Every structure is written in structure tokens, then in C-alpha cells.
Structure 1
Amino acid sequence: MTSTLSKPTSRMYNIYGNTITLLTVYILVIIEQTNPLENSKNAIYSVTTGMTTFHEFILNYPRGAYTGMRTLERNAIVEFDAHLKRLTNSLALLKWDHKDDHINQAMASFKDPTELKGKLVPLLKKGLESFYEQINTEHETKVSVMIAYSFQEQKPRFAAHFTRLDPILQDRVKVRLEYRSRSTPEVKDSRWVRERADLEENKPKDVNEIVLIDSEDKIYEGMASNFLAVRRDEQGQPVVMCAGLEHVLLGTILRLVVDICEKYHITFDWNFPRLQDAREGKWEGCFITSTSRLLLPVETIYCSPNEKVEFKEHSEIIEFLRQQIVQELASTAYKIL
């Protein structure tokens, strides 16, 4: 039996007598542990369904740490250990607006990888089971985990958002450059979701990602992705370039790219890709990586309203990395169901 909840829903608005469709969203599930300081045996969960987008979900909570996961075969989480580490590290580095020993004590179990795993796995299990009960889909699932502290309620907030993951794009994509940077790139801070909201809202429909660049034409990362470029050295061997980790967040798929490059003896250069090199044709190509999109080659970079850099040819090394990423996913997955 096909569930109607699996169908996309468009939000309709009437503006001056004209009905306009602004966004297509899928029915989703949100799960929250309402007694977050308790262990999994005593955990109480609230489960709700609705049409809350990822951004709405994150912004509905106080400031905190978050991460975006994806399933494999609908029952396992890719790069689970990396996501666990990201959450604990981000919480440890977050500078709260208030300094209080009570906050540190309340958040202690979420900063410890072993204790967090003991809370997170049951939350994900309950969430995935509830999602599949509500939604009849063969697609993989995108899971966003949020850990925050509510000063109003004087307690942590611990929740996850489950939604259908669209099939991975097979075509190359377009990106647009934006002269902006993140203040704490090493932290997966929900404040960044709020700060980038205007970029999301104004992103052209044909653009897959907004990529951040500075006044010296050094390219950092995408709003929700890592950015990498490929050049050839003097011997004609491929070199993969990415901004250093003091400037960007180490995404889970970027981590896989680094491992694959090491495995196949492909040089990896932790230095900024520079726009001028792209303009001069020194790049073989470039690509973005993220949990939901995996590895997407870039066809066009929109530098400004009047300038763009296009990559006419497919890069063999980028296609190789793309294929290897798919093959490596299974080895990093942690079974939840």
C-alpha cells in the first residue's frame, strides 16, 4: 500500500490574487528526547510528523551543535563515528552566551563520545523506525541531529530530523561565489545556519551551492559543503587542492576524499584554490562534497553577474574520486536498524 505521506507537498501562497508555489517539501519526522539527561533505558521520546524544513528545524532550537547524516541501505549511518566526533568537538568548542557551571555539567554527557553514542544510537533507531512507519519510500534518508542548550528551560535539547534524501545528481552542477566567510569554521554551530539564511533565500534556482571566497580570491568552502579543485603538477600528475582545516570544516565526505587520495597516491594539497588560477585555465576541474550530495563535479562557477568560469571537459580524476566515494560508503557505515 502506498502512503500519501511519501508524496512531496508544495507550499502555496496567495500574493495579490496570484497563487505562487515557493517550496516543495516532503513529509518528515522529528524526534526529541524530552528527558535528555537520562540514559537510553529511561529515555522518553516525542515523535512528530510535519513539513518542517531542515533550516526551520535547526532555527527552532536554541544555539547548539548539529550535523547532517545520510543512511545507507536505509538502515545504517554513513561515517557515523565522524559525525559523533563532530558533535562532541563542536560542543566542546562552542562559546555559550552565558558562563555557568550548571551548563557545563548539563552538557557533559553530550561532550563525551561514549556517552553520546549511548544516547544517539537509540534516538536514531526510534527515529528511523518512526519515519519508515509514516513514509513509504525506497529512498535513502537524510538525518540532521541537533544538540543545544535552552537557557529558558535550563536544560539540553536533543533532537533529530528525518526526511527523504533525493537521488544523487549525475550531472555536473553550477556554483556561485559569495564574498563572505565563517567566523568559526571548525565548529558545526547552528548560528551559521541563521547567518547564511539570506544566501539560501537568494540562491538562483539553477545554482547548486554558494561557495565562499575572500577579497584575495582565495576559495574556502560551500555553505554546506567542501570545495576542492584539481590541477596538474610539472610531471602531469593530479593534485587535489582544498583550503586548510584551520579555515574550513572537515566534512565527512572530504575525509573520505583525503583517504582515497592517500590510498591511490594522489597528491593532496591543503592550500587555498585560487580563483585566478581557474580564470587562467590552470585547473583541470573542481567539485563540492557533502553528506547529502556526496561528490558533485562543477561545470560552471558564477564569479559575478558578468563573469563565469566554465569547465568544458570532464575531469577523469574527479570522476575516479566520485566512483571511489560510492564504493567506500559501506566501509564507514554503522548499522542502526
Structure 2
Amino acid sequence: MDLASHIDRIVNSLRLMTFTDQSPDTEASEPESVTRALAPFRNRQTVEQLVVPMLKTGLKKYYEVDENGDLETKVSVVVAYSFEVCMVMSLQFIGVAYYESRVRFAAHFSPLSAPLSGRVAVEVDGEPRKVAGAKDSQWVRDRLELEHTKSPTVNEVLLSDSATGNIYEGLSSNFFAIYRGDAGAGRSATVHTAPLEFVLQGTVMKAVLTVCERDDIPVQWQFPNIEDAREGKWEGSFVSSEYCVQ
């Protein structure tokens, strides 16, 4: 597990996100009290000091009760801020409602199923994410409709710009297209993937890029285009996530 990259992602995501008690579609600034409470989690050194002991304790407890000892473990770390309204019942503040200033910091452990093998089916549907660089739980809620409406035989939904046909990424994966080369012109096949400022770079994507660099496979940070696929310019394509490279 590339723990360093996951810690970087937590910190970078929190720096990009704004926590308010307003609707996600409402432009609002983050209250100073919230910013102060989240400050330790926007500092990489502090997050590492908090995450590592929590994971050690959590994994130890998990393996004590885990009945699937042969499977790898999926670990999810969540940092959130609660705006839960509480009622104070005291002589001084009878019935007064106030916002409970509390950061939620937790880890969840579950079995990680073996990745799928072979070909997968995808469909192109849905617009790109609003804040691509942040691994935001709001995106999990936003993508539910796409997950519920996709065909039962479809493994992943690719997000695209309907005006240009540019493909960004999957709901939970990065996307790559292999563009055909031209041996006669001395042009080799090239891997195309969306520019990083428009997508969330997964840890498996980094492994793919490492292999491309090692084997001298050219990589272009350009959007794969659906029209290019229809015109036969693609030699193939694949998605990558912690669950698969297909």
C-alpha cells in the first residue's frame, strides 16, 4: 500500500474543500471556527502522526475478528466536519440550540475482493466532476444516480464532455486510451489520458505511469476522444483503480 500517496490525497483534498452548513450548491465561505478545527488535518505531518496509530490499532482489531483471513483489506479513512444541531439542557442555557464544533476522523476496514479479470463493459454518461482534485464524499452521493441507472452488464461509467466528446475518467477509476502508431512513419503507439488538473489521480494510475516510463511507452496528457475511437484511431483502452486494471 502506498500510504504516503493516500496521506497526501487526504491533505490535498481537505485543502481544496470548503466546509459550510449550506447546501453543496451554495457559494459560502468556511467559518473561521471550522477552519481552525480542520487546520491539523490540512497539515501533512500532523495527519501522518494521527493516521498511522489509528490504522495500526484498527487493523489489529479487524484481524482479530476477520473471518476472511486470505483476503486483502480495504481501508477507508474519513475526515469530515459535523454541523449537527444539539440542544443544551442546563440552568444557564435552557433549550438553546448550538452547532457542535466537531471534526469526524475515522477509519473503516472491510475485505478487499479480488480484482476482476478479462474485459469489462463501460458506458459514456455524465459530466465531469466539479472539484476533480478532491476525493470528496459529496462525489459519492452525486454519482449514485449514474450507478443506479447504468445497465446491469456495465462495470464502469465514463464521464465526458458532451460538447467535445472528451473523456475524463470513470466514476471510481482513471481512463486510458492507446492511440495507434504508424510504423512506416516511425511513430509508436501512445497512451492518452486526461490532464491531471481535470481528474483525480489514483494510486494505481501512478503504477501504470511507472510501467510506461520503465518500458519507454509514450504518454500524452491529452483527453481521449470518443470520436477518435469511432474512427478507429484507438488500438485499445483500459481503466485503472484499486480494484482493477482492465
Q: TM-score, normalised by structure 1?
A: 0.62
Match of 1:87 in 2: 10
SS at match of 1:102: helix
Aligned to 1:244, which of 195, 199, 206?
195
Letter of the 1:87 partner, please give it: I
SS at match of 1:246: helix
Partner Cα distance (1:102, 1:252) in 2: 33
Aligned to 1:100, which of 28, 31, 34?
31
The percentage of aligned residue pairs carrying the same residue is 42
In the TM superposition, residue 199 of structure 1 has moved relative to its aligned partner by 1.2
SS at match of 1:179: coil
Letter of the 1:238 partner, please give it: A
In the TM superposition, residue 163 of structure 1 has moved relative to its aligned partner by 1.2
SS at match of 2:196: coil
Larger radius of gyration: 2
Match of 1:269 in 2: 220
Partner Cα distance (1:225, 1:210) in 2: 9
1:224 aligns with 2:156: no
1:111 aligns with 2:76: no
SS at match of 1:173: coil
Match of 1:310 in 2: none
Match of 1:32 in 2: none
Partner Cα distance (1:163, 1:177) in 2: 30
* Structure having the larger proportion of residues in strand: 1
Match of 1:307 in 2: none
Deviates more, 1:137-146 or 1:97-106: 97-106
Match of 1:177 in 2: 124
Q: Indicate if the aligned counterparts of 1:142 and 1:292 stay in contact, CA closer than 8 A.
A: no
Deviates more, 1:226-235 or 1:78-87: 226-235
Match of 1:132 in 2: 63
Partner Cα distance (2:43, 2:132) in 1: 21
Partner Cα distance (1:135, 1:99) in 2: 40
1:69-84 matches, cutoff 5 A: 78-84=1-7
1:181-192 matches, cutoff 5 A: 181-192=128-139
Match of 1:144 in 2: 76
Q: Using CA pairs under 8 Å that are at least 6 residues apart, name the structure with larger relative contact order, 1 or 2.
A: 1
Partner Cα distance (2:39, 2:214) in 1: 37
Instruction: Spell out structure 1 runs of 4+ moving beyond 6 A.
Output: none
Letter of the 1:248 partner, please give it: V
Match of 2:92 in 1: none
**Cα deviation per residue 1:263-291 (whole Å; 9 max; x = unaligned)?**
22111000000011111211111000112
Q: Indicate if the aligned counterparts of 1:231 and 1:283 stay in contact, CA closer than 8 A.
A: yes
Task: Give the alignment's Cα RMSD to 1 decimal.
Answer: 1.3
In the TM superposition, residue 91 of structure 1 has moved relative to its aligned partner by 0.5
Q: Indicate if the aligned counterparts of 2:126 and 2:146 stay in contact, CA closer than 8 A.
A: no
Letter of the 1:147 partner, please give it: V
Match of 2:144 in 1: 197
Letter of the 1:104 partner, please give it: T
Q: Indicate if the aligned counterparts of 2:114 and 2:243 stay in contact, CA closer than 8 A.
A: no
Structure 2: which 5+ runs fail to align?
Answer: 21-28, 85-99
The number of residue pairs the alignment matches comes to: 218
In the TM superposition, residue 110 of structure 1 has moved relative to its aligned partner by 0.9
Partner Cα distance (2:58, 2:235) in 1: 42
